[in-house]
Every structure is written in structure tokens, then in C-alpha cells.
């Protein structure tokens, strides 16, 4: 359901403005129920869990910079793989608490969008998202999402896709 932009929460307005500026064809939509988790978002949208592009924020300890990992909702991030991609030798990643997430992204946990951050993060995209032609990402608020394709993530964020998830065994039928 589309609403008047000025009626949207501030974070959603920032995301909507960024999407428009980048000529993205899909505006944010507000859901009736909160989608703080990937499963809640998938249920609300009627899509598979993997089609939810969840945003995970880490804290790079060497420079206190936010590291955004955009991963498929049905996958778990391998912190060691991410650390190898974004940290110098010997540097470490740490957990990001709610205050760090809010101050660096401008969003609360459960609504972290892949773009329009308060401070530009280091961004990595999970290549597992490319299994799908259509995915959904948070749009700056736990009730807001927007539709995109995995290749749009690369264009919107300037980040590349990489292997950043734990190994998943595929069961045979």
C-alpha cells in the first residue's frame, strides 16, 4: 500500500529519496505488521525466506566502521569470511549493538536498509541472493520493505557479491 511520502517515518523517506535518485523502479511499501526478522518479512510478503535480503551490521574494530553484510534470509553469515574480506591482517570484526547500528546507519535494528545510511558502511553482498530473480529488502523501518533484483543491490550500493555465508549441506531427495 502506497502512502503520501511525508506520512512515512523519516528512515523510509530517506530510503525512498535515495531509490528515486538512483532511478530504482520500486518505492518502499509499508506492511501492516512489523517485519523485524527475515521470517516475518517473508510471511508478510508471501515469498520464500531466501528472498529476503537481510542486513547484518558488524563493527570493524580497527577504525570503528560499520560493515554491512546483505545476506539471503535463509543463510547464516560466516563472520570469519567477512572478516577476511574487510579487515587487514590481524584486525577483527565485532558485534554491533543497537546504539552502534542506529548511530552509524540511522536505522533501528529490524529496519536497516541496504542504502541511505547516516555514515557510509563497508558493504558486502551475499552471492546466495543471486539464486532469486526477485528479492525484498528493509526500507528504513521495521514495517517498510522494497522490491529489487540482486543485481540492483550491486548498483545501489556499489558493493560486490562474495561468499560470506556458512557452508550449507544440500540434502538429496
Would you state the cell numbers that stand for residue 112, as one nine-digit string?
536497516
47 by DSSP, 3-state: which?
coil
Mean pLDDT of the chain: 92
Per-residue pLDDT, 66? 97
Task: Note if the pTM is more than 0.85.
Answer: yes
Write down the CATH number for the domain with range 5-157: 3.90.960.10
Tell whether the model's pLDDT for residue 132 goes beyond 80.
Answer: yes
Q: Which helix (H) or strand (E) holds 65?
A: strand 65-72
Spatial distance between the Cα atoms of 65 and 36, rounded to a whole number of angstroms:
23
Tell whether the model's pLDDT for residue 32 goes beyond 70.
Answer: yes
- Taking only the tens place, the pLDDT of each residue in 44-68 is 999 999 999 999 999 999 999 999 9
Of residues 55, 73, 77, 69, the one with CA closest to residue 142: 55
pLDDT band for 106, please (50, 70, 90 cuts): very high
Tell whether the model's pLDDT for residue 2 goes beyond 50.
Answer: no
Any idea which of 28-37, 41-50, 63-72, 137-146 has the lowest mean pLDDT? Answer: 28-37
Mean pLDDT calculated for residue range 105-125: 96
Spatial distance between the Cα atoms of 46 and 40, rounded to a whole number of angstroms:
10
Of residues 113, 89, 109, the one with CA closest to residue 97: 109
pLDDT band for 76, please (50, 70, 90 cuts): very high
Tell whether the model's pLDDT for residue 3 goes beyond 80.
Answer: no
Would you state the cell numbers that stand for residue 94, as one nine-digit string?
565485532
Mean pLDDT calculated for residue range 83-112: 94
Amino acid at each position: 500500500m502506497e502512502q503520501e511520502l511525508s506520512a512515512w517515518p523519516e528512515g523510509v523517506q530517506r530510503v525512498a529519496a535515495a531509490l528515486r535518485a538512483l532511478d530504482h523502479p520500486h518505492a518502499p511499501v509499508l506492511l501492516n505488521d512489523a517485519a523485524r526478522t527475515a521470517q516475518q518479512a517473508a510471511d508478510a510478503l508471501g515469498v520464500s525466506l531466501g528472498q529476503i535480503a537481510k542486513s547484518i551490521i558488524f563493527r570493524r574494530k580497527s577504525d570503528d566502521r560499520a560493515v554491512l553484510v546483505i545476506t539471503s534470509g535463509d543463510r547464516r553469515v560466516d563472520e570469519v569470511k567477512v572478516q577476511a574480506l574487510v579487515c587487514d591482517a590481524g584486525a577483527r570484526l565485532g558485534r554491533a549493538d543497537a546504539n552502534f547500528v542506529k548511530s552509524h546507519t540511522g536505522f533501528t535494528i529490524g529496519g536497516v536498509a541496504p542504502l541511505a545510511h547516516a555514515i557510509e558502511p563497508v558493504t558486502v553482498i551475499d552471492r546466495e541472493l543471486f539464486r532469486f530473480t526477485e528479492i525484498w529488502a528493509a526500507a528504513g523501518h521495521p514495517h517498510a520493505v522494497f522490491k529489487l533484483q540482486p543485481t540492483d543491490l550491486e548498483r545501489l550500493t556499489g558493493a560486490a557479491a562474495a561468499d560470506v555465508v556458512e557452508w550449507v549441506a544440500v540434502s538429496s531427495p
